[in-house]
């Protein structure tokens, strides 16, 4: 009987330790401003890579690779979305969310097989990139000022 009690205590200690380890990553506080600056930098690089598209042979500049980087930006923005910040940082976050979304859609259009042949798709992609760039500049002005 004592062996079962000891085994149960060992299992409970192991489960408690595993629970603490899994939850420890989620409790780390992130600096929202640092995350927003990093997202701004990455999204700006992605926008510049998209301007170099239609479909380059470079893997890091391909629309798919750019879209994956922008997906990472969206995830980073989600991580800091619930953290209370001052109105200036909140506006910068909102502008970055819009820019990342618009640039992501532009990259999706550029991934389409018909992108190189269809004038309407290219026009839509250019329009999305220009709106994304405008939102990036607005976010930059909020973060700098």
Q: Is residue 129 part of a domain?
A: yes
> What local confidence, expressed as pLDDT, does residue 10 receive?
84
Tokens (6 digits) for 89: 């940082």
Decide if 4 is inside a domain: no
- pLDDT for 116-126, tens place per residue? 899 999 999 99
Query: Does residue 27 register a pLDDT over 60?
Result: no
**Does some domain include residue 3?**
no
- Gap between the Cα atoms of 139 and 145, Å rounded: 10
* 132 inside domain: yes
Number of domains in the chain: 1
Which residues have a Cβ under 8 Å from the Cβ of 132 and sit 6 or more positions away?
43, 47, 98, 99, 100, 102, 103, 106
Asked whether residue 110 is domain-assigned, the answer is yes
Residue 47 placed within a domain: yes
**CATH assignment at residue 95:** 1.20.1440
What range defines the domain where residue 74 resides?
Answer: 29-144
Q: Does residue 99 lie within any of the structural domains?
A: yes
pTM: 0.75
Instruction: Specify if 97 maps to a domain.
Output: yes
């Amino acid at each position: 009987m004592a062996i079962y009690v000891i085994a149960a205590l060992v299992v409970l200690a192991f489960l408690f330790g595993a629970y603490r380890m899994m939850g420890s990553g989620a409790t780390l506080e992130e600096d929202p401003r640092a995350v927003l600056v990093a997202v701004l930098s990455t999204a700006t690089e992605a926008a510049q890579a998209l301007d170099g598209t239609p479909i380059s042979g470079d893997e890091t500049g391909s629309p798919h690779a750019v879209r994956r980087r922008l997906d990472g930006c969206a995830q980073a923005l989600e991580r800091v979305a619930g953290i209370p910040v001052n109105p200036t940082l909140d506006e910068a976050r909102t502008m970055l969310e819009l820019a990342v979304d618009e640039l992501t859609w532009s990259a999706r259009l550029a991934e389409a097989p018909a992108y190189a042949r269809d004038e309407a798709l290219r026009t839509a992609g250019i329009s999305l990139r220009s709106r994304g760039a405008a939102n990036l500049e607005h976010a930059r002005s909020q973060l700098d000022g």
